[in-house]
Chain A
Amino acid sequence: MSWTEDIEVRRMVVWWRRLAVMTRKELLQLFRDIPLMGFLVYSFTLSVYITGNGIQTQLRNAGLLVYDADRSVSSRELVSRFHLPYFRFDGELTHPDEGLLRLDRGRSMMVLDIPVRFHEALLAGEPTAVQLLVDTTNSPQGLSAAGYAARIVGQFGREVVSARNVLTGSSSTTVPMILSDHRVWFNQDQNETWFESVSHLLRMITVFAVLLPAAALVREKERGTVEQLLVSPLTPVQIMLPKVVAMTLVILGATAVALFGVMRPAFGVPMKGSLPLLFSLTALFIVATAGIGVFAATVTRNQAQVGMMTLLVVAPMLLLSGIFTPLETMPAWVRHLMAFSPLRYFIEITNGILLKGIGIELLWSQTLAMGVLGGSLFGFGMWRFRRQFE
């Protein structure tokens, strides 16, 4: 080995050692912040459990009040069709006007009003109508409840027709109709705990990945310790990279705890795909998201500013990336805007690997998008960071 090569190798060793020492410093600093660590643990364990277990986006327990003016076999039969888990029977009303008052109070969501002579009309084959008042202060829930009600009433009506036809003996046994059969793939029982716990995990990863490096960088700037570091033999890369490496390690560890400590044992979240792939892409996602934090840290001067700046960006990411409501609901401009959110790709990657069990061959476009986005965000943040001190 020649003399110059030897120097090169040594330089490399020193460079990596410095990186390792700085990473250790960052890790120590993180672990010593007890309240912060407490919240980290809570966020990736109990919080994932409560949210995964607790959220029902489908219609559940919609409070139903009934004003039954007919009090017949048919009306009671119809009312009994509105049952849990979708509808919760909140009682009968003695007066039709009472319904509005109860809806005002907001404890119940709808009032079903059955007219007199309902049963008679059905027997006689005359058309009749029932009325439904729906509280639409929460519009998707209101629409969904009305949709379920329409299905129930329609089904009841069809049964009445076929029963009448059987009674009069005029019906053939079969009718031309489509028997619609649905199979829900990747999550047969539409188990919401899977989706909600995965979403919540991603929310937590995002919040920590943006805020931890942003706050750490600004702190050094605010206190002036970054000047100390800059006059040391460290390069800007060696100052910034350890922060990102340290918190990536911490978040990856927390993710593993959430996956194997909560989501698999408590909810039975399937892990069909490759776990090494999942963790490598999670690391990529963390670094990509950290780029946002690093960038925000370079344009702000104190913690309060960086907090607001990052939250300004993170809140839309959390709400519009397709982990809260489906991307299909969003207007086209939001979908275009969200092309810049790494989370938008990462949700497809996570669900793809965990639930669908697909590999990189079907996820390469998302991975590429996330990589390019993360690379440029991070690169840009890095560039700004270096420039600040030149």
Chain B
Amino acid sequence: MNVRRIAAVASKEWRETMRDRMFLLLAFFMPAVWMIVFGYGLVLDVEDITFVVVDRDHSPLSRDYLYRFSQSRYFSFQGELASEREADVWLQSGKARAVILLPEKFQERLLSGQPANVQTLIDGTFPLRADITKGYVIAISGAFNEDLLADYLARTRGLSRDEAQRRTRPIALEVRYLYNEEVRSAWSTVPALVMFSLMVSSPLLTALGVVREKETGSIYNIYSATVSKLEFLIGKLLPYVMISAVNVVALWLMAVLLFAVPFKGSLPFFLATSVLFVLTSTGIGLAVSLLVRTQQAALIITVLVSTVPTIIFSGLIVPVSSLSQAAQFQAHLFPGMYYTNIVRGAFLKNVGPTVLWMDVLALGVYAGGLGAIGYRLFTKRPSA
């Protein structure tokens, strides 16, 4: 291997990149824009669930119950309906996501110490939203029940309000949140977005590198040159690894300064593993570029391979542990998942190589494997 020949390929590639102003601008602009848009936009707390009400009781107690929904930030009151039939249309058109139905004699039954049935209809088209809505309804009803019971005990047994309240809740649950103590959505998404931005943008930098030369025919210069396969591939990759490495630093600064996410771990460890990760993500682009014949195919395949699995299988939102077997298998095939563990660990948990060595190893194996595939796929003696 000759370092000067690598440098020659790299500097040719670098110059080509520098002269394409728009490409260069987008290469740095794209991850930063995503970081801002998703960092502020991808909030995961479900709020303002629209709901309508059919109240057949119209009593102070029924209004008290409904008031707990309308004043909660999780729900947004859309109006009161006369009948259940109207509610159908509201759910079907998507104007309301939930309908609460209160029966007649709601107050009468509760005050006389009997249970009362309340029905909630929930739009199930988005299962996550339906599940969260259900959770909120249960929580609000539960709190209402505890107050009801405490009032009832206080009235019938002559207990003090505090005593009655304590009796209704014998076990307290003390929850301590670790790593993201204030449970800020941004603290968990922003580190994962560092992964996302790098994983989606860097393969695109290299994806067209070789196939473009194949399409325009300039690859024949390489075929007939003294540069070896490995030298050529390294030279092709180098400028883009550098661009992505600059992006790593930029994204890290944005996470720490703009989004004020604490960085608890070791910076050298984070930077070293990030460079390893960038090597794998740019390597994916290069491998695709070697595999296909047209730029159009290279572009679309790279986007499919880098974007879609990264959104779904990298632990960005859905944790890998809750995927099905087949999906977990697919998750392990992409480098995003390992790097998500590393970034979250380094930012929030202050864990280093002793805990994360498996993930680092996986990235290393990945980079090596891509290198081997690239070496096999690239030939200076094309058959056709």
Contact = CB atoms under 8 A, between A and B. Distances in A.
B291 to A, nearest CB: 6
A216 interface: yes
A151 interface: yes
Interface residues of A, number: 125
Interface string B252-267: 0000000000000000
Contacts of A316: 34, 37-38, 41
Given A36-B297, A55-B327, A140-B44, A305 B38 contact: no
Contact of A319 (B94, B176, B183, B311): B311
A289 to B, nearest CB: 14
B124 A362 contact: no
B8 interface: no
Nearest to B191: A137
A125 B171 CA distance: 10
Contacts of B327: 50-51, 53-55
A178 B170 contact: no
Interface in A175-202: 175-188, 190-192, 194-195, 200
A33 B294 contact: yes
B170 A195 contact: no
Contacts of A158: 168
A235 interface: no
Contact of B115 (A39, A63, A161, A179): A179
B300 A39 contact: yes
Contacts, number: 403
B97 A136 contact: no
A308 B23 contact: yes
B114 interface: yes
A137 B316 CA distance: 11
Given A149-B173, A151-B138, A325-B44, 5 more contacts: A57-B318, A132-B173, A132-B174, A179-B118, A333-B41
Interface of B: 20, 22-23, 26-27, 29-30, 33-34, 37-38, 40-50, 65, 89, 91-94, 97, 109-132, 134-135, 137-139, 141-142, 144-145, 148-149, 152, 166-181, 183-185, 187-189, 200-201, 204-205, 207-208, 212, 215, 291-304, 307-308, 311-312, 315, 317-319, 321-324, 326-328, 330, 341, 344-345, 348-349, 351, 355
Interface of A: 33, 35-36, 39, 43, 47, 50-51, 53-63, 100, 103-106, 109, 122, 125, 127-144, 146-147, 149-151, 153-154, 156-158, 160-161, 172, 174-188, 190-192, 194-195, 200, 203-204, 207-208, 211-212, 215-216, 219, 223, 300-309, 311-312, 314-316, 318-320, 322, 324-326, 328-331, 333-334, 337, 348, 351-352, 355-356, 358, 362
